[in-house]
Chains A and B, each alone.
Chain A
Amino acid sequence: MGIQFDLNKCIGCGECVPACPFGLLEVVNDKVQLKEGCTLCGSCQDICTYKAICIESVPDTKLASDSHQGVWVFAEQRKGRLKGVAYELLAKGRELANSLHTELSAVCFGHNVDKVSLIAHGADKVYLVDSPEFANNPEDLYTSLLADLIRQYKPEIVLAGATSLGRSFIPRVAAILGTGLTADCTGLEIDIEKRLLLQTRPTFGGNIMATIICQAGRPQMSTVRPRVFKRSAPDKIRQGQTIKVDFNKECMTSRIKLLSFVEDITETVKLDEADIIVSGGRGLGKPENFQLLKELAGVLGAALGSSRPPVDEGWIPYCHQVGQTGKTVCPKLYIACGISGSVQHLAGMQTSDTIVAINDDPNAPIFQVATYGIVGDLFKVVPMLIEKLKSE
């Protein structure tokens, strides 16, 4: 099993070398050589004219069953309020269900949740588990409950938000069911012929995109980054069915006990739901200078973001951090002030619709992903920007 090179066929042309997204191939003494780290992605196999590269396929012992039908969206809520990503997934899920000529269902665990809006946003069915126990999203109970529902109703696709909740309990559901799960997707499409979900996600800190399929396991499961897909307008007269699922407290006990919860009382505009984000980096120099960005954010009705260095320095709390280890954001407008644009930061914001970069270093990588750039001192540019916007 694995990748094989037929060195009799290899002429050392080197055609495959640039094809490897990980740069693992080289030509030594007119023959191809592979370094460690191959993911068996197959890019080199496709490009070799001489058919010298072979990736032995594994006999698919696990075959997908046809008995799985329908697209499910796990509609996340907190304290009865649905998250933005639930609506985004309903819009995308509707599209996928239409391509597959199947139903879209929302699964919602919570207490006093607005089920009507789930139908208005595209669900044909809502599986609702309403219990006061669910107000604070107990992951242990959600894991067994969702796995049970999936076993019972057999959907072919299950989507959930790549939030801290989704990223914590959805992998456990996949592990129980014995099926594939793709994390942090930014693209979802259907291969109609094979009835497969094509799941695209950034990897290597956003440097590489990978499209992933789950051939054998069902359901095909993905967590999806918030704000990647657009929500659709609600259709108030849309009809749907609500199925109340009994939750038997006696049968399920959580091993985990929540002792306390402290909400981050941050700005009025939440980072992951903002249309505009004003973000600051090391270039701000000191904590007090975030005041300037707060003022700009105030004028624009924007949320306040940060790259990692100010957070590490303690200038601003972690909940403002955008990037690989912070939040992934996708606003309509992202204004980066004094951020050089490390790979990790870019991974968290480069899918924003419009990016404005303000930095005094013309070679800063942030300009490579920016739509508009101003090369200059942010302490001069930002006050001018505030004044101009105020006067408009």
Chain B
Amino acid sequence: MNIVVCLKQVPGTADVKIDPQTNNLIRQGIKNTINPFDTYALEEGVRIRERHGGKVIVISMGPPQAESMLREAISLGADEAVLLSDSTFAGADTWATSYTLATAIKKLGQYYVVICGRQTLDGDTGQVGPELAEMLEVPLITYVSKIEEISDVQIRARRMIDEGHEVIQAPLPAVITVTKEINVPRLPSLRGIAKSKSATIPVWNLQELGGDPVRVGLSGSFTRVVKIFYPQRNRQARIFQGDLGNQVDCLVDELKSAGLV
């Protein structure tokens, strides 16, 4: 049976700087990568296959360039990849994204687990996994840090919540979202790299997907971005001067007069 892993290509924003003159993100030299949180999802999918067999199918909704990321996923152990790409998919919010992914997963046929990263690095909402579960009408376990046991029909997993951790049991198929604690992703293998170069990656547009045109992209989105702005970073830090003892005294005086200590 299939293990489906959802991936997103994101700008590798780890080193993003703001240009102090224009206040813009400096994008030069920033490559697109697999959303870091999704690499744990992919690795976990490959590990489940190694123990239980089946196929790891990676899917992504994105522009044509996202194909390179799917090839990378194959080099990291995925068996097959499908890219969902169509100009009508642009501007999708989490609802429309989840609808598009859910439609593709149903079309792929029987699966027993869908794995997503806990959130993306760019949009950062963490909503697609839960929305996807509901659209597929299957159980959901979020923030999974360890799969304790998985069979064809059932999963037992440990998940991290604000107050500690829970061990949850759910029937399969199910959707899980995973945290970085779950594994250490492997590096691409030589065999994987060779396979990724020759792999055919089908691209499904709206017609091939067979989705409802009013539920994808901008038209399927309930939310709209109406304004984008930069957070105020006009905090001019007061850097204390003089010898350290003096600096510490000044700091404590400031904090005291602000009523903080």
Question: Which residue of A176, A183, A209, A362 is within 8 Å of B125 (Cβ)?
Answer: A183
C-beta contact mask, B164-206 vs A, less than 8 Å → 1, else 0?
A: 1111111100000001110000000000000000000000000
Question: Which residue of B93, B217, B222, B240 is within 8 Å of A372 (Cβ)?
Answer: B240
Question: Which residue of A58, A263, A392 is within 8 Å of B218 (Cβ)?
Answer: A58
B135-A37 in contact (CB<8A): no
In the complex, A369→B232 CA distance in Å?
Answer: 10
Q: Which of A18-26, A101-109, A229-237, A286-294 interfaces with chain B? A: A18-26
A175: chain B residues within 8 A (beta carbon): 95, 98, 130-131, 134-135
A214-B223 in contact (CB<8A): yes
B225-A39 in contact (CB<8A): yes
Question: Which residue of B162, B224, B227 is within 8 Å of A165 (Cβ)?
Answer: B162
B13-A207 in contact (CB<8A): yes
In the complex, A94→B93 CA distance in Å?
Answer: 28
Question: Which residue of B168, B218, B238 is within 8 Å of A259 (Cβ)?
Answer: B168
Q: Which of A115-123, A244-252, A383-391 interfaces with chain B? A: A383-391
* B143 at interface by CB-CB < 8 Å: yes
B249: chain A residues within 8 A (beta carbon): 388
Chain A nearest CB, measured from B155 CB (Å): 10
Question: Which residue of A181, A262, A371 is within 8 Å of B164 (Cβ)?
Answer: A262
In the complex, A184→B170 CA distance in Å?
Answer: 27
Q: Which of B47-55, B84-92, B103-111 interfaces with chain A? A: B84-92
B240-A172 in contact (CB<8A): no
C-beta contact mask, A165-189 vs B, less than 8 Å → 1, else 0?
A: 1011111101110111111100000
A369-B26 in contact (CB<8A): no
C-beta contact mask, B249-261 vs A, less than 8 Å → 1, else 0?
A: 1011011101011
Chain A nearest CB, measured from B66 CB (Å): 9
Whose C-beta in chain B lies nearest to the C-beta of A344?
Answer: B14
Whose C-beta in chain B lies nearest to the C-beta of A206?
Answer: B231
In the complex, A351→B217 CA distance in Å?
Answer: 32
Interface residues of A, count at CB 8 A? 105
In the complex, A169→B126 CA distance in Å?
Answer: 11
A182: chain B residues within 8 A (beta carbon): 223
Query: Quick one: given A257-B170, A392-B256, are A215 and B240 in contact (CB under 8 Å)?
Result: no
A28: chain B residues within 8 A (beta carbon): none
Question: Which residue of B90, B130, B164 is within 8 Å of A40 (Cβ)?
Answer: B90
Interface residues of B, count at CB 8 A? 93
Whose C-beta in chain A lies nearest to the C-beta of B218?
Answer: A58
In the complex, A77→B100 CA distance in Å?
Answer: 34
* B75 at interface by CB-CB < 8 Å: no
B125: chain A residues within 8 A (beta carbon): 183-184
A171-B130 in contact (CB<8A): yes
* B60 at interface by CB-CB < 8 Å: no
Q: Which of B87, B163, B224 has the most CB of A within 10 A?
A: B163
Query: Quick one: given A39-B91, A205-B13, A211-B225, are A22 and B25 in contact (CB under 8 Å)?
Result: yes
A20: chain B residues within 8 A (beta carbon): 24
Q: Which of B23, B129, B140 has the most CB of A within 10 A?
A: B140
* A324 at interface by CB-CB < 8 Å: yes
In the complex, A178→B233 CA distance in Å?
Answer: 37
B122-A373 in contact (CB<8A): no
In the complex, A344→B252 CA distance in Å?
Answer: 28
B135-A264 in contact (CB<8A): no
C-beta contact mask, B143-174 vs A, less than 8 Å → 1, else 0?
A: 10000000000001000111111111111000
In the complex, A217→B170 CA distance in Å?
Answer: 31
Whose C-beta in chain A lies nearest to the C-beta of B128?
Answer: A171
* A164 at interface by CB-CB < 8 Å: yes
A343-B223 in contact (CB<8A): no
B119: chain A residues within 8 A (beta carbon): 325
A259: chain B residues within 8 A (beta carbon): 156, 166-169
Whose C-beta in chain A lies nearest to the C-beta of B90?
Answer: A2
A255: chain B residues within 8 A (beta carbon): 139, 170-171
Question: Which residue of B14, B94, B163, B170 is within 8 Å of A181 (Cβ)?
Answer: B94
B237-A373 in contact (CB<8A): yes
C-beta contact mask, A285-314 vs B, less than 8 Å → 1, else 0?
A: 000000000000000100000000000000
Q: Which of A5-13, A67-75, A374-382 interfaces with chain B? A: A374-382
Query: Quick one: given A1-B218, A40-B91, A371-B235, are A389 and B252 in contact (CB under 8 Å)?
Result: yes
B237-A368 in contact (CB<8A): yes
Binding site for B on A (CB under 8 A): 1-2, 18, 20-24, 36-43, 58, 61-62, 78, 139-140, 143, 163-165, 167-172, 174-176, 178-184, 198, 202-217, 255-264, 272, 276, 300, 318-319, 324-325, 327, 332-333, 342-344, 350, 354-357, 362, 367-376, 380-381, 384-385, 388-389, 392
Binding site for A on B (CB under 8 A): 11, 13-16, 18, 22-27, 37, 63, 65, 87-88, 90-91, 93-95, 98, 118-119, 121-127, 129-131, 133-135, 139-143, 156, 160-171, 179-181, 214, 217-219, 221-231, 233, 235, 237-240, 244-245, 247-249, 251-252, 254-256, 258, 260-261
Lowest 4 A-B CB distances belong to which pairs?
Answer: A180-B222, A183-B125, A175-B134, A180-B223
